Amino acid sequence: MGSCVTKNKSNHQKSLQLPPIPFSDFSYLRRFKRCMLTIKKKIVYKEYLGNHIEIRNDAGIGLTSAQQIILAGGSEESGSLTSQVVLLDPKSTKYDHIQDLPVPTKKGFIQEFEGCLYYIGGLIKNPNEESSQSFVPSPLMRYHFNSSQWEILETTQETNPKGEGPVSYKDLYQPGNFIFNRKIYLVGGQRIDNETGNFSPNRKIYSIDLNFQPYTLHDEEIELKMCSNHPICVLNEYENSVQVFGGKTQDMKLFRNNFEINLSTKSTNEMKPFPFFVKEHYPPIYQKEYIIIISFPKIAVQRYGDHDWKVFDFKREESSENHRSTQVVPNGEESNSNPADRNVGPNLDLDEERRSEKESLESRKDEKISETAEKQTIDTQNKSLVS
């Protein structure tokens, strides 16, 4: 497979895409390498962004309907959290700072809905310095584009009719999330017992109806057979369904379990395992015909109405000019693997794509330290978690 590469002093690189990709153009921010990849039918553009743009690996991340990339919060080199929010245009790589978050935060996803941004599922420093729990769930936050202002949304807890005790938004640790029919859905993650501080897997799905105030956490009475921390949620509005996969188990191992939830019938169905371990939490890219999931160097593409994922790889080659070209190529592995295949992967730090991850080792040190601290916190709080 041949390639033609051009590179200039402004850190642009262009590679010929052979064969052309079968899906629509898209852009991807590779945070670990501080570069923007723009994948077109026949060309792959790469641009290194430099240090003038604040790109933090553990920032909350989201995509707008215009495919702008939002990075909010994240860890500084000192270990403290920041409140900065960056809005990045992948086409021009120009960026703007919008108003800072109300509180320094990291992780989580940012969802755009009806002229607002919602920061969901993030983490903040525990204000209780005596607690062994380093991070606690951040409040639900909303940004208004028309007023350029963030606000913290106060939420109330719904009394559980089964007498199990109320659950509040602040009790849910790193749930997956999406917005559908004016409801914020919270999926999986862990539940923190507000009396003991212990963690337990959250197999339930909760929602917050944006039509009514006060905003109240509601039990959707949908239960997953298994759950993970910070799973990916892929919404299919055409079928009123969502796929939930990826994330990490309670002992911080990656896994591929994939469930489809029908939001109309409130039923769940275990799907074929996701075709690869999702090692980064990049938001799904929604196109007119396709849904794209990226965990470098792998790409999974699914056409609406089809339940199989086609897998592609970012592939690099050395050109005759000693430049590295980047292409998107079919993976060659079958995506419809047997559900009996191994679903639980290695620890986050053990990566089979050693070459690509070796290059980003220095960039990942802060994230590894953060993941280790969170695991130690959870182990300290609850020694007998049931997965």
What pLDDT score does 42 carry?
83
What pLDDT score does 331 carry?
72
Q: Is 58 a member of any domain?
A: yes
Residue 66 forms beta bridges with which residues?
A: none
From residue 251, alpha-carbon distances to 26, 41, 281, 349, 370 in Å are: 34, 40, 18, 13, 14
Side chain identity, residue 16: L
Helix or strand (DSSP H, E) at 355: helix 354-359
From residue 29, alpha-carbon distances to 91, 248, 283, 285 in Å are: 11, 22, 11, 12
Q: Is 306 a member of any domain?
A: yes
What pLDDT score does 251 carry?
79
**pTM over cut 0.85:** no
Q: Give the CATH number of the domain where residue 343 resides.
A: 2.120.10.80
Q: Record the tokens describing residue 20, joined without a space.
A: 């052309």
Residue ranges making up the domain that contains 338: 5-381
Tell whether the torsion through CA atoms of 327, 333, 334 and 336 is positive or negative.
negative
Please give the Cα distance from 33 to 356 (Å, whole number).
Answer: 10
What pLDDT score does 326 carry?
65
The number of distinct structural domains making up the chain is 1
Q: Is 282 a member of any domain?
A: yes
Q: Are 27 and 49 contacting, i.e. CB atoms less than 8 angstroms apart?
A: no
H helices, E strands: number in the chain:
2, 34
Q: Is 172 a member of any domain?
A: yes
pLDDT digit string (tens) for the chain, length 387 residues: 333 333 333 577 777 766 778 888 999 999 999 999 999 888 888 999 988 888 999 999 999 998 899 999 999 999 999 999 999 999 888 999 999 999 999 999 999 999 999 999 999 999 988 777 899 999 999 999 999 999 999 999 876 656 566 789 999 999 999 999 999 999 999 999 877 778 899 999 999 999 999 999 999 999 988 888 899 999 999 999 999 999 988 778 888 899 999 999 999 999 999 999 998 889 999 999 999 999 999 999 999 988 899 999 988 655 545 445 566 777 755 444 444 444 544 433 333 334 334 443 444 444 454 455 455 544 544 443 333
Among 345, 120, 148, CA closest to 215: 120
Tell whether the torsion through CA atoms of 271, 274, 278 and 281 is positive or negative.
negative
Q: Is 387 a member of any domain?
A: no
